[in-house]
Copies of this chain bind each other. A is one copy, B any other.
């Protein structure tokens, strides 16, 4: 597994914030409930997202969390690399391999895959993810209509 729950949950949380953009701070408890994330674990992810500059948090009653920038200016690549660290599929793809090692033998294959992956992830914004989710919801509603 390339991504741990950090990347999964973290992006879920960001999608939730993006969906409620402009409605004031969203509370930890709400995010946790809607996205099925353990509340106390979500803490750590929000802290990481804050340090990464993706969200702003305000304390006290009526406090909560909001996006630091518009959803269409946050791409999935930045988000995931901030949450997970490097997404390199293989050790020797990331580091410069020091000397003339070349002992790995499959690095060139993975370099291609990795580059392509990063391009794709960079092309998807948080806004795209929200839009996709809204589309999916509409689909569900429609199919339910015909079933019932």
Contacts and interface: CB of A to CB of B under 8 A. Distances in A.
Interface residues of A, number: 37
Contact of A12 (B7, B35, B91, B103): B103
Interface stretch (A21-29, A61-69, A116-124): A116-124
B91 A108 contact: no
Interface string A1-39: 111000110011001000000000000000000011000
Interface of A: 1-3, 7-8, 11-12, 15, 35-36, 76, 88-92, 100, 102-106, 108-110, 112-113, 116-117, 120-121, 124, 129, 132-133, 136, 140
B15 A105 contact: yes
Nearest to A110: B3
Given A100-B140, A129-B106, A88 B1 contact: yes
Contact of A1 (B36, B89, B104, B113): B89
